[in-house]
């Protein structure tokens, strides 16, 4: 392989690695979207929106988040679910909500407050994040392999050149082979 053949091969290998990374990222995005859709549909089958009426004023509480804390308003409320079964509890409400305010909440099959089913927006963010992470990981590993192969090939080439030079240099420089005693630097 000559010096002129190497760059196109390297570029081709890099393009193949990047294409593979993009394909893997797209597949991961699709798999995550499908799994998230299936999970959201299963959860939605067991989530119900009901109207609750606050039985006291809203109270702001600090809620821990991934990025620190934020205030969230909650208030005691009453609602009926399933059927005419009366339930009570603390539910999220808009800040400053007075007693007697109607709010929509999500409950599970037993009527307990529950998180709402996932949204398409959240599912898209999770899917795209996972696909991007997959593409990045596959691309980084592929580039790492290319660098390793390139350095290994270069090291073997340099070692072969060094062995050949050891054979050619004494003749090329005008010195005879070592040990002959003629034309050596050891006069």
Which is higher by pLDDT, 10 or 20? 20
- Both 53 and 81 in one domain: the answer is yes
Q: With 80 as the cut, is the pLDDT of residue 4 above it?
A: no
Q: What does the alpha-carbon distance between residue 53 and residue 86 come to, in Å, rounded to a whole number?
A: 11
By three-state DSSP, how is residue 151 classified? Answer: helix
Quick: pLDDT tens for 59-113: 988 878 788 788 789 999 999 998 889 999 999 999 888 999 999 999 999 999 9
* Domain annotation covers residue 72: yes
- Both 52 and 112 in one domain: the answer is yes
* Domain annotation covers residue 99: yes
* Domain annotation covers residue 177: no
- Both 108 and 63 in one domain: the answer is yes
Q: What does the alpha-carbon distance between residue 126 and residue 138 come to, in Å, rounded to a whole number?
A: 18
pTM of the predicted structure, to 2 decimals = 0.65
Would you place residue 187 in the very low, low, confident or very high pLDDT band (cuts 50, 70, 90)? very low
Q: What does the alpha-carbon distance between residue 170 and residue 184 come to, in Å, rounded to a whole number?
A: 9
* Domain annotation covers residue 176: no
- Both 55 and 101 in one domain: the answer is yes
- Both 57 and 89 in one domain: the answer is yes
* Domain annotation covers residue 179: no
Which is higher by pLDDT, 171 or 37? 37
The count of structural domains within the chain is: 2
What residue numbers bound the domain in which 25 lies? 16-39+124-167
Would you place residue 144 in the very low, low, confident or very high pLDDT band (cuts 50, 70, 90)? very high
- Both 109 and 64 in one domain: the answer is yes
């Amino acid at each position: 392989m000559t010096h002129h053949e190497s760059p196109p091969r390297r570029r081709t290998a890099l393009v193949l690695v990047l294409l593979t990374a993009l394909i893997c990222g797209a597949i991961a995005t699709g798999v995550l979207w499908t799994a998230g859709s299936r999970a959201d549909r299963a959860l939605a089958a067991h989530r119900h929106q009901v109207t609750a009426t606050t039985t006291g004023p809203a109270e702001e509480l600090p809620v821990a988040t991934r990025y620190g804390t934020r205030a969230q308003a909650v208030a005691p409320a009453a609602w009926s679910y399933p059927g005419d079964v009366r339930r009570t509890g603390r539910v999220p409400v808009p800040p400053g909500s007075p007693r007697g305010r109607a709010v929509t909440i999500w409950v599970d099959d037993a009527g307990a407050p529950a998180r709402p089913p996932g949204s398409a927006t959240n599912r898209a963010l999770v899917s795209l994040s996972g696909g991007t992470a997959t593409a990045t990981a596959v691309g980084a590993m592929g580039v790492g392999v290319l660098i390793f192969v390139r350095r290994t090939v270069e090291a073997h080439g340099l070692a072969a050149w060094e062995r050949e030079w050891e054979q050619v240099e004494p003749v090329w420089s005008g010195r005879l082979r070592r040990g002959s005693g003629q034309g050596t630097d050891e006069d």
